[in-house]
Amino acid sequence: MNKKVIGLIAIVVVIVACGGAAALYVLSPANQAPRTPTGKLDFTVTASSDCLRFLNSSVPTIYVPFTIAANENWQLAVNCTKMPGGNNGWTDVYIYKGYWDGGTNHACKAGDLYPILSNIESANFEITSKTPYIQTFTDTIQQSFTVFFVVPPGGQPATFHVILKPT
């Protein structure tokens, strides 16, 4: 084989390898996070659900995406001010280590989360009308998180007050 052909093949292989590595870097979840840490958040979300607790594609879901700077402590508090089922109502909390903002006004359908579902973990916590979710987030590097919780069933509106603030 001609040395020019071998050299050309080697150059093509290097270009393809570099292009593939660059594409993987750009598309990785860590690089999808906003570059600027999130500031304070204080908002209320109201939604209702007739669906059962199992996660089918139409279950309304609330999400809170945020990014913290390196070596900072930020406290997220989610207080349910109105819960279907009253004192017996509850909803589980889930955490995604990444920034996801694919809904509108902090609400989406569970089916919207299917592409990242395998990366969402349980926080092992239940929000009730008397028990808010309070968690401090910190890391040695800039990090993004998205907290999710399903709107409790019952057909009645559920209202959640969300506050993210530095500690």
Domain count across the chain:
2
Q: pLDDT at position 85, please? A: 85
Q: pLDDT at position 86, please? A: 84
Q: Domain check: are 72 and 112 in the same one? A: yes
Nearest to 145 by CA among 157, 137, 155, 153: 137
Q: Domain check: are 11 and 44 in the same one? A: no
Nearest to 145 by CA among 111, 102, 95: 95
Q: Domain check: are 10 and 55 in the same one? A: no
Q: Within a 10 A sphere around the Cβ of 151, how many other Cβ atoms?
A: 23
Domain, as residue range, for 19: 1-32
Q: pLDDT at position 27, please? A: 47
DSSP run (H or E) holding 143: strand 143-150
- Which residues in the chain land under pLDDT 50? 18-19, 21-27, 30-31, 33
Q: pLDDT at position 33, please? A: 46
Q: pLDDT at position 2, please? A: 67
Q: Domain check: are 143 and 110 in the same one? A: yes
Q: Which residues pair with 93 in a beta bridge?
A: 149
Q: Domain check: are 11 and 75 in the same one? A: no
Q: Domain check: are 88 and 27 in the same one? A: no
Q: pLDDT at position 18, please? A: 46
